[in-house]
Amino acid sequence: MNEYKISLMPGDGIGPELTEATLKILDVVQENFDVNLNIVYAEAGDAVLKKRGAALPEDSLKTIRESHACLKGPVGETAADVIVKLRLLFDLYANVRPLKAFPNVPVARPDIDMIFVRENTEDVYKGLEYSIGNDVTVCLRVITRQNCERIAKRAFETAKLRQKKKVTAIHKANVMRITDGLFKRVCQETAKNYPDIQYNEMYVDAATMHLIRTPQEFDVLCTCNMFGDILSDEAAQLIGGLGMAPGANIGDNFALFEPIHGSAPDIAGKQLANPLSMILSAKMMLHWLGERFNDLKCLKAAEGIEKATIQTLINGTTVPDIGGKASTLQMAQAIAAALKN
């Protein structure tokens, strides 16, 4: 039986609560699905910076490097020193954010089912900012053919596995003619290799409108880094909020999974946070492990988590941000009980 070493980063704010909740689910995965997870903690975030002088200490990096995958809670002000650094260090070029409507959750439409495939290592998020004197600042936007090709291919390969089989490339090439012009050309070139996939393009400002107006029309959205970050947060509000939104950072040889939201310090320690963002991120992790290592047990466990989540919501157990009264841990315990069955 395969043993998977999972580096676990609880993070800041509500992160430890989400981590505790998610571990309830992973305990059932190990017991009922015969999946062997060796979970090893790796410190990172604001509290670690205060305690140790580094938001991402070297021993944590070593633990992550030696693991098969990483599961991470949200961190606070040190996000750029933690998740952005990890994306670059491990070349996690694809940020994948599935957003779908679940039952018994306040959603814009019950037929929303889209997935953002966002370039994750360049654009303005490289942080190449400069001051020229006291009154002028400059931010460099880096867009490369290699990364455009990788993310476009990931988007089309993702669409092949989905029902609608549709890719929408989102850019602003009418204004940023060189950088987004390159992204647009590469997406068009890649589309020619996938004749069975419906391909269209949309300017980013139009996309923000159509996400609200006709969200059911979207399937796979392929974007550059900053646009994807903003649009996916917007789209999450259509399915009940950021607490319903899991995420993955995927490279060729490693992947890190996390909720797409921040650490929410205002509700930390109150058991009010929605644990589904991290539980569904763990589901994505198991699916990735199953595909990467051809492990049917991991794939079945991932499918089981989603089914148990749906059943729990249908049964009426929900947390406050989606209209219920259950605590963070109670929600997880209900899903864990459903998963056992």
- In the residue annotation, 205 being an active-site residue is answered as yes
Which candidate in 51, 205, 270, 325 is catalytic? 205
Whether residue 278 contacts residue 18, with contact meaning beta carbons closer than 8 Å, is answered with yes
Which candidate in 125, 184, 194, 219 is catalytic? 125
Q: Cα–Cα distances in Å, from 80 out to 12, 129, 142, 187, 309?
A: 14, 14, 17, 28, 31
- In the residue annotation, 172 being an active-site residue is answered as yes
Bridge-based pairing of strands 246-250 and 69-72 is unpaired
Instruction: State how far the Cα of 101 lies from the Cα of 239, in Å rounded to an integer.
Output: 5
- In the residue annotation, 113 being an active-site residue is answered as no
Which candidate in 72, 172, 283, 297 is catalytic? 172
Which candidate in 27, 81, 233, 295 is catalytic? 233
- Amino acid at residue number 123: D
Q: Cα–Cα distances in Å, from 99 out to 112, 235, 258?
A: 8, 7, 14
Instruction: State how far the Cα of 45 lies from the Cα of 28, in Å rounded to an integer.
Output: 28
Whether residue 95 contacts residue 120, with contact meaning beta carbons closer than 8 Å, is answered with yes
Among residues 125, 54, 140, the alpha carbon closest in space to that of 93 is found at 125
Catalytic residues: 125, 172, 205, 229, 233
